[in-house]
Amino acid sequence: QVQLLESGGGSVQSGGSLRLSCAASGFTFNRNCMGWFRQAPGKEREGVGNINKDGSITYSDSVEGRFTISQDNAKNIVYLQMNSLNFEDTAMYYCAAEVARDPCLGDYAAGRGLDYWGQGTQVTVST
């Protein structure tokens, strides 16, 4: 059974950092595509960054240079390191994945067409 579990959210002051984790079971991140997404109250879900099939990583313009995605294959965990957080980063953060697709077909800008989602972890940035 495929499951994704996010952790690491919390409250932080503007300028601070957090590291989110996405732990997978039932499949291996190493051979699949995954992404991080966020949704703030009253706003559409948006992609934060994603790992492509070839292992390359893409970031949204809003987080480029501040957020970093990394992968621990031994633990089957993907991390989202978030630095220089600001109020606009406040949202529920989700990880999601496509499993056993080649090529990957998901829309990683809007979070459509992905097979599996975690339950989310809340990030709140105060000014």
Six-digit token pair at 105?
Answer: 């077909």
pLDDT higher than 90, residue 121: yes
**Mean pLDDT computed over 7-31:** 96
Structure confidence at residue 5 (pLDDT): 98
Say which range, 6-10, 25-29, 64-68, 81-85, has the weakest mean pLDDT. 25-29
Structure confidence at residue 8 (pLDDT): 98
**Cis peptide leading into 41, omega within 30 of 0?**
no
DSSP string, the chain: --EEEEE--EEEETT--EEEEEEEESS-GGGSEEEEEEE-TTS--EEEEEE-TTS-EEE-TTTTTTEEEEEETTTTEEEEEE-S--GGG-EEEEEEEE-S-SS---BTTTTBS-SEE---EEEEEE-
pLDDT higher than 90, residue 30: no
The 10s digit of each residue's pLDDT in 86-105 is 999 999 999 999 988 888 99
pLDDT higher than 90, residue 6: yes
Structure confidence at residue 102 (pLDDT): 85
Structure confidence at residue 42 (pLDDT): 95
**Mean pLDDT computed over 38-65:** 96
